[in-house]
Amino acid sequence: MSNGTLTQTYSNVQYKKYKYLYSGTTYNDIHVFTTLTTQGIAPAISTTKIALSDINPATVSSNNVIAKINACMFDYGTSNFYGFFYQGSGYPMYINGTAYTSVPTSSSMYTDPKFWPSFCVKTDGTANIRWFGSSTALSTAIPYCRYIIGSCHPLVFNSKCVFNERVYDSESTSKLIYDPQKTITDIRFNEGIGTGSTGSAIRTLLGHKSGGTYVMGCPDSSMNLKTAAILMQDLGCDYAVAMDGGTPSEMRIKDGYGANGKVTAGSGHTLNTAVCAYI
């Protein structure tokens, strides 16, 4: 297994910037925000597109939000956004932008093996990536999850890069997450979105470290998903996913916790969903 070389070029409280050398290519301006064990992350939903600076979680006071990144994909011309988002007990959950007050008995999320890597923020401080295949599986999982955040692609699963090893999910159906030989088609990975596994783009990345902290990454350098996965593995993540990429990729940090304000080079975009770190 080949890994890259991280070189820290800037540090300010919980924010760090790196350059990253992998497979002969140097990627500059890797923006990374890491939470403390006393901090958490939560999804934030807006049913109409608004600036990332204005999106905040339903369960967290805006005064307690300390960093933000954009979340999963959306339609540019509408307010449709994709993925499964659980905001916590007592708040609507969303499946592809449709709000539910309880777990639906039927959904495309249960029948489609792709499109649905859900990043689970568990109540015991651990994390996982799940693909919910039934309402029973989702109903069983929710009491153990503080939040669930929809993502585009799985990158690191149980500390393994899904592109470097034959990694299977933890669902009862036990599907292979990714197959580099392309001989198995019934996998969890969706090549049809976000430039697929080989295309190069600016990425927004989210990960969890085994000590109970979370990592937000926004590289200014375009990279393919394998490079992004190995980067998150090198940052110490046991689970990591890719969110939306390209123009929407953005990181903001509150004054006192790192580089104040918008710290990424991308132009940003009005959004429906975000991931927020909070105290």
Q: What is the pLDDT of residues 209-254, one digit of tens each?
A: 999 999 999 999 999 999 999 999 999 999 999 999 888 999 999 9
Q: Identify the pLDDT of residue 5.
A: 97
Q: What is the mean pLDDT of the chain?
A: 94
Using CA atoms, how far apart are residues 88 and 263, in angstroms rounded to an integer? 29
Instruction: Give me the phi and psi of 264, to 5 degrees please.
Output: -90, 160
Contact 197, 225 (CB under 8 A): yes
- pTM for the full predicted model: 0.96
At 112, the pLDDT band (50, 70, 90 cuts) reads: confident
Q: Is pLDDT of 256 > 60? A: yes
DSSP bridge partners of 274 = 44, 70
Cα of 264 vs its chain's centroid, Å: 17
Residue 188 near residue 177, CB atoms below 8 Å: yes
Q: How far is residue 208's CA from residue 35's CA, in Å, rounded to a whole number?
A: 10
Supply 240's token pair: 């990591």
Selection from 59, 58, 89, 54 nearest residue 70 by Cα = 54
* E strand or H helix that includes residue 231: helix 225-234
Domain spans of the chain, in order of start: 22-278
Sheet holding 213-219, edge to edge: 5-12, 15-22, 25-34, 213-219, 203-209, 237-245, 153-157, 160-161
Identify the sign of the CA torsion 37, 59, 259, 248.
Answer: positive
Q: What is the dihedral of CA 251, 255, 259, 261, to 10 degrees?
A: 40
Number of neighbouring beta carbons within 10 Å of residue 168:
17
Distance between CA 117 and CA 2 in Å, rounded?
25
Type and span of the H or E element at 25: strand 25-34
Instruction: Supply the pLDDT for residue 2.
Output: 63
Are 47 and 272 spatial neighbours (Cβ–Cβ below 8 Å)?
Answer: yes
